[in-house]
Chain A
Amino acid sequence: MKVEILYFSQIKDKVGKSSEVLEFTGNTVSDLVEFLAQKYPNAKDVLEKSMFAVNEEYVDKQAILKEGDKVAIIPPVSGG
């Protein structure tokens, strides 16, 4: 399915863009994370520890995605 992905913080720097529309095979956020970890191996570790929001609502990795969803990937930050 096709989803729009918004990248934040270090993920944005690692993938080199702030958003993209991607076609992937799978159903869940977890499947999408696995797909992205293969596409962007340097972002794998941060991807796995990030927060995910689908259509501006926080979800866990088991959440089911549907065509056209907007998925935001937000790594936690700790600076002060």
Chain B
Amino acid sequence: MSFQFTEEQIKRYSRHIILPEVGGVGQQKLLNAKVLVIGAGGLGSPSIYYLAAAGVGTIGIVDFDVVDFSNLQRQILHNTSRVGVPKVESAKMTVEALNPDVKVIAYNKKLDKSNVLDIIKDFDIVLDGSDNFPTRFLVNDACYMLGKPLVSAAILRFEGQLTVFDYRNKETSPCYRCLIPEPPPPGLVPSCQEAGLLGVVGGIMGTLQANEALKLILGIGEPLVGKLLVFDALKTEFRTVKFRKNPKCELCGENPTIKDLIEYEQACEVRF
């Protein structure tokens, strides 16, 4: 296989290319890959930044918020001069300054059942870094329907959770609803705005999401499928819980009842 790398690319990606597990072939896979990141916030900032540095050629970013001062304690794609700027625009500027090889596709909109399939369909992998259950269920169901691998992380206070649903293998991979059958009632699970978040927890979990995405693109290692990783920042402790497909799951079980996308209410959640 011959590569079309420029001198600059050979230097830029030299630490990748020198890894036998990546090499020129792997770097070319990264440059050809298309990854969609939901949310350019606490999780999306580090994942997008590392995917861009790694040379993931196309990164789609979905977010409908603008940068706020309260974001800057953790959302490292943004900065003080970008307050008031749409997050996707701010993210695009940061990524383009880091790596001109990356094409950013910015979706400055709220995901709903009318647009989610259309946005996801052209990407290879989806990273969920959204901040609410309705979006998480919508993204999960859409990825399941389209057969796209989903790297899902969530954070609150001093803890983070991470897992991978590989919907390229629907027969074997559990889904998000096998873990959480339906959204908890609004108000039961606090948002980061309500309960706070140690900023670096987003950095750790978002970086782990990028790691899972890179492994999936390169086809190396073992993706975190069927395992929920729970991180406790105060103890600096990781625990892994194994889980399987739930035969009674309403999305991926033996007698599924969910055939269409569902938009859940998020009345009680205020975003920041």
Interface residues of A (CB under 8 A from B): 6, 8-10, 13, 18, 45-46, 49, 51, 53, 56-58, 60, 72, 74-80
Contacts and interface: CB of A to CB of B under 8 A. Distances in A.
Given A57-B241, A80-B43, A80-B192, 13 more contacts: A8-B232, A9-B159, A18-B235, A49-B188, A51-B180, A51-B241, A53-B243, A56-B241, A58-B228, A76-B180, A76-B184, A78-B156, A80-B153
Contacts of A76: 133, 154, 161, 179-180, 184, 189
Contacts of A75: 189
Given A45-B188, A74-B230, A80-B155, A57 B42 contact: no
Interface in B150-203: 153-157, 159, 161, 179-180, 184-185, 188-192, 195, 197, 202
B156 A58 contact: no
B57 interface: no
A56 to B, nearest CB: 6
Contacts of B41: 80
A46 B188 CA distance: 7
Contacts of A51: 179-180, 228, 241
Interface in B39-96: 39, 41-44
B148 interface: no
Size range of the interface on B? 35 or more
Contact of B241 (A13, A45, A46, A72): A72
Contact of B133 (A13, A46, A78): A78
13 contacts: A13-B157, A18-B232, A46-B188, A46-B189, A51-B241, A56-B240, A57-B242, A57-B243, A58-B241, A74-B228, A76-B189, A79-B42, A80-B154
A15 to B, nearest CB: 15
A3 B99 CA distance: 52
Contact of A79 (B156, B180, B188, B230): B156
B241 A80 contact: no
Given A76-B184, A79-B156, A10 B242 contact: no
Contacts of A53: 241, 243
A40 B219 CA distance: 46
A8 B159 contact: yes
Contacts of A8: 159, 230, 232
A37 B217 CA distance: 44
A79 B131 contact: yes
